[in-house]
Amino acid sequence: MNIAQMMKQAQQMQKKLQDAQNELANTEFSSEAGNGAVSVTCDGQGKFKSIKLSKSALNPENPESVDNDTVEMLEDLISTAMKNATEQANKEMQSKMKSLTGGINIPGLF
């Protein structure tokens, strides 16, 4: 096998990796807990997308006492905190990877 052929195969593999990453980024996964009291959605790369809370998750004895604005406010607060934590973790991971690779960007690594 010659160098040109190896380079072509490496480029094809890199394209397939990028396509797979894009596909995962555009795929959503959801899970529920507490018989649907809490529902969380993330993408195929593990990035948090959203959370939905039922009124019964906030007040199981009297769910009707919880107004929709309170539920929405809590969903927004939790979503913001989750997204901020994910962003911080990603920045730290990128920083560590850059120090390990000497600043060389290796596709698919981060």
Name the pTM for this structure: 0.71
Q: Domain coordinates of the chain in residue numbers?
A: 28-54+64-102
pLDDT for the residue 67: 95
pLDDT for the residue 105: 67
Annotate 23-90 with three-state secondary structure: HHHCCEEEEEECCCCEEEEEECCCCEEEEEECHHHHCCCCHHHCCHHHHHHHHHHHHHHHHHHHHHHH
Alpha-carbon distance of 38 to 31, in angstroms, equals: 8
Dihedral pair phi/psi, residue 37, rounded to 5°: -65, -35
pLDDT for the residue 110: 54
Q: What is the pLDDT along the chain (110 residues), one digit of tens a residue?
A: 688 898 889 899 999 998 998 898 899 999 999 999 999 999 988 889 999 999 999 999 999 999 999 999 999 999 999 999 999 998 998 888 888 777 676 665 55
pLDDT for the residue 79: 96
